[in-house]
Amino acid sequence: MEGKISGLREAVIPLNISGPDSSQEIEAVLDTGFNGFLTLSRPVVQALGLLARGSRRATLADGSIVALDVYRATVQWNGQKRRVLVLQVARSSECLYCMETAWYWMLSRVARF
């Protein structure tokens, strides 16, 4: 998997995300401060046909606390399909991917846990 550095100096990786209705290739920002799995906008969640699994409280970077709807999707990662939790966010322009999750998946591939 190859990524790039955006004009805002963010690490960005391509992700293939699948839901019951479709698949999409999106670009996700690797976020070192995000401890969820993946955030997606409402239009992407709807296009994939993801089914709601509940809600979760989240603390945003500005310190505000919000309730976000939780979904489950499948992500293609280094040739393997992995199920992930998705938090639906209001901002439609950015998908965030948890750096901790990415790091674990990279280590597990190398170490063969």
Mean pLDDT (10-residue bins), the chain, 113 residues: 72 86 85 71 92 88 87 85 87 58 45 44
Does residue 49 lie within any of the structural domains?
yes
Residue 106: its pLDDT value, please?
46
Residue 12 forms part of a structural domain: yes
Domains in the chain: how many in total? 1
Residues of the domain holding 45: 4-107
Residue whose entry in the numeric block shows the structure tokens 């979904």? 71
Residue 63 lies in a domain: yes
- Domain with residue 86: its CATH number is 2.40.70.10
- According to the model, what pLDDT value does residue 50 have? 95
Four-CA torsion 33, 37, 39, 44, nearest 10 degrees? 160
Is beta strand 65-77 parallel, antiparallel or unpaired with respect to 52-59?
A: antiparallel
Residue (of 42, 41, 39, 46) closest to 84 by Cα position: 39
pLDDT of residue 96: 62
**Structure pTM?**
0.74
113 located within any domain: no
* Per-residue confidence (pLDDT) for residue 101, from 0 to 100: 52
26 falls within a domain: yes
Helix, strand, coil: what percent of the chain each, to 5? Answer: 20, 50, 30
Domain membership flag for residue 21: yes
